[in-house]
């Protein structure tokens, strides 16, 4: 396995900005090239076949109202002003130019709900206007129902809510107790026309609660459509560093499967590198889980056969219409497709009757971010999860490993007074082009660092 060394990381650059939109076919080819270079191009690979990127994070603030023990933000995040709206929209344009319509754009931060509400709404609306899919990544504290209604009206298609023990929410001593918070958020989003994901960071303290958390969330599959677990990673300002030996993609996936209580294959279709994540696609009917990819060979074959069809998740009726029209022209696949549907219906029949036809789609992920000090070259090369920076998209793990380099740089802007630069530390324009100097660490950051040093030395003396 090859790792980036310190110098490689320092020299690593984002993929750059594009002058005009790249045709989707070229974007797919570009991604396929990256997959091949990394040696992960296989027949069950979706990245580069169906879509050129799984998701692009658009960080609209570095501020947060929590201080998680596994936070990926920089020690200096609270010193950075929110980047101007014009710059955010310019980055949205770049996401479109790189990856085209239907791209998932995760509006994130810090916590994006801390951004000026009118600007947040404009950002969501602009992403939607370009026919991309804006989702909100939040800890939920300030994601009030009126705000979510407003954002849904502006075009928001989904919300990803992060709740877990790493957030150290006062009064909650376990994931089980945190289900009270999850329940409150579930009721808050109930009935909104957006998909709902719950995200949990896995660390030593909650590993044993993964399966119960899955059980709780799937018992709310009428609202929750996605369950995601991300493994702890040593990156950013978080105070927990070394990953516990028990935590890896296989052990976390095994715990998730326990919570699903029915066999689900997480490796039928791959998105990016096999060490980065895996996922299962299921239906929840009458409280029971059904693996939608049960027939692996047929799933892969149909995925390839249907690759030409534009899957517009914003308009499922039109997408189904396209699939039906395509099937009519390809009777061989119509027969196979019908067989697939009938097989599934037969398996589900008794629960379908009991649930009176109520079916909920439930997708379950495990995501394995890397430590900042051990970035694997092939995983960065085949990364499916990008962050949009001033200099184009870059792998999320690489971004986290050198956040300050990407964030604390003067940003060029065109103003009525000509080209000026925006200073991320002051939030002001300056025609002289200020040199950004990282400030003294804030009091909180200093305390955190001291706490960490103390922890490190006690670990060393116990070793």
Which positions touch ligand SF4 (CB under 6 A)?
272-273, 276, 367-370, 379-380, 383-385, 395-397
Contacts of 393 (CB under 8 A, 6+ apart): 14, 15, 53, 56, 94, 95, 98, 386, 387
Nearer to ligand SF4, 380 or 407 (CB): 380
Minimum CB distance to ligand SF4 smaller for 229 or for 385: 385
How many whole angstroms separate alpha carbon 17 and alpha carbon 393? 8
Minimum separation from the CB atom of position 234 to ligand SF4 (A):
13
DSSP one-letter code for 290: E
CB of 401 to ligand SF4, least distance (A): 10
Question: Minimal distance in Å, beta carbon 31 to ligand SF4?
Answer: 12
Shortest Å distance, C-beta 272 to ligand SF4: 5
Beta pairing partners, 277: 367
Q: Which is nearer to ligand SF4, 385 or 408 (CB)?
A: 385
Q: What are φ and ψ of residue 34, in 5° steps?
A: -65, -40
Separation between Cα atoms, residue 119 and residue 125, nearest integer Å: 10
> What residues contact 177, with CB distance under 8 A and at least 6 apart?
171
**Nearer of residues 68 and 370 to ligand SF4, judged by Cβ:** 370
Q: CA separation (Å) from 366 to 116, 135, 155?
A: 32, 19, 27
CB of 233 to ligand SF4, least distance (A): 8
Quote the least distance from Cβ 209 to ligand SF4, whole Å: 23
Quick one: 396 exposed, middle or buried, by C-beta within 10 A (0-12, 13-18, 19+)?
A: buried
Q: Name the minimum Å distance from CB 304 to ligand SF4.
A: 23
Nearer to ligand SF4 by Cβ, of 47 and 132: the residue is 47
Rounded to the nearest whole angstrom, what is the least distance from the CB of residue 231 to ligand SF4 in the complex?
Answer: 9
Identify which of residues 120 and 380 has a Cβ nearer to ligand SF4 in the complex: 380
Give the C-alpha separation, 28 to 99, whole Å: 8
Cα(271)–Cα(287) distance, rounded to whole angstroms? Answer: 27
Identify which of residues 4 and 185 has a Cβ nearer to ligand SF4 in the complex. 4
Cα(185)–Cα(148) distance, rounded to whole angstroms?
11
CB of 394 to ligand SF4, least distance (A): 10
Going by C-beta distance under 8 Å and a sequence separation of 6 or more, which residues neighbour residue 54?
47, 104, 271, 272, 384, 385
Our CA dihedral for 67, 393, 228, 238, rounded to 10 degrees, sits at -20
Burial call 215-230: b when 16+ CB within 10 Å, e when fewer? ebbbebbebbbbbbbb
The Cα–Cα gap between 430 and 419 comes to 9
Contact 372, 378 (CB under 8 A): no
List the beta bridge partners of residue 202.
231
Least Å distance, CB 381 to ligand SF4, is 9
Q: How far is the CB of 453 from ligand SF4 (least distance, A)?
A: 27
Measured between alpha carbons, how far is 209 from 176 in angstroms, rounded to an integer? 8
Pick the closer one to ligand SF4 by CB: 226 or 340: 226
CA 306 to mean position of chain CA atoms: 25
- 385 vs 422, beta carbon nearer ligand SF4: 385
Residue number with CB closer to ligand SF4 (9 or 323)? 9
Sign of CA dihedral 353, 356, 357, 360: negative
CB of 114 or CB of 380, closer to ligand SF4: 380
């Amino acid at each position: 396995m090859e790792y980036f060394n310190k110098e490689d990381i320092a020299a690593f650059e984002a993929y750059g900005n594009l002058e005009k939109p790249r045709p989707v076919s070229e974007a797919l080819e570009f991604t396929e090239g990256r997959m091949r270079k990394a040696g992960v191009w296989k027949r069950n690979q979706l990245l580069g076949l169906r879509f050129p990127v799984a998701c692009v994070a658009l960080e609209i603030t570095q501020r947060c109202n929590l201080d998680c023990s596994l936070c990926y933000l920089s020690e200096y995040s609270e010193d950075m002003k929110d980047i101007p709206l014009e710059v955010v929209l310019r980055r949205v344009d770049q996401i479109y130019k790189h990856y085209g319509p239907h791209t998932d754009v995760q509006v994130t931060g810090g916590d994006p709900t801390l951004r000026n509400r009118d600007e947040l709404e404009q950002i969501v609306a602009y992403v939607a206007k370009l026919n991309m899919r804006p989702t909100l990544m939040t800890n939920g504290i300030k994601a009030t129902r009126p705000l979510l209604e407003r954002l849904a009206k502006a075009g928001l298609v989904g919300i990803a809510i992060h709740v877990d023990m790493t957030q150290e929410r006062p009064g909650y001593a376990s994931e089980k107790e945190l289900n009270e918070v999850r329940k409150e958020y579930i009721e808050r989003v109930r009935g909104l026309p957006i998909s709902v994901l719950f995200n949990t960071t896995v660390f030593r303290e909650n590993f044993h609660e993964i399966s119960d958390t899955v059980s709780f969330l799937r018992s709310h599959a009428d609202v929750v459509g996605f369950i995601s677990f991300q493994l702890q990673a040593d990156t950013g300002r978080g105070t927990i560093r070394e990953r516990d030996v028990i935590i890896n993609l296989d052990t976390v996936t095994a715990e998730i499967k326990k919570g699903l209580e029915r066999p689900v294959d997480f490796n039928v279709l791959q998105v990016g590198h096999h060490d980065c994540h895996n996922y299962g696609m299921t239906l929840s009917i009458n409280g029971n889980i059904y693996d939608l990819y049960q027939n692996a060979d047929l799933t892969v074959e149909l995925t390839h056969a249907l690759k030409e069809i534009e899957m517009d998740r914003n308009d499922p009726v039109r997408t189904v219409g396209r699939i039906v029209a395509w099937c009519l022209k390809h009777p061989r696949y119509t027969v196979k497709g019908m067989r697939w549907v009938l097989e599934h219906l037969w398996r589900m029949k008794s629960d379908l009757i009991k649930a009176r036809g109520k079916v909920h789609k439930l997708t379950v992920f495990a995501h394995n971010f890397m430590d900042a000090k051990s970035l694997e070259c092939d995983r960065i090369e085949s990364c499916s999860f990008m962050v949009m920076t001033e200099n184009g998209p870059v792998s999320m793990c690489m971004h986290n490993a050198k956040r300050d380099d990407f964030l604390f740089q003067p940003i060029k802007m065109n103003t009525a007074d000509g080209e000026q630069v925006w200073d991320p530390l002051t939030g002001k324009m300056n025609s002289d082009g200020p040199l950004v100097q990282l400030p003294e660490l804030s009091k909180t950051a200093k305390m955190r660092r001291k706490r960490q040093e103390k922890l490190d030395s006690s670990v060393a003396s116990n070793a």
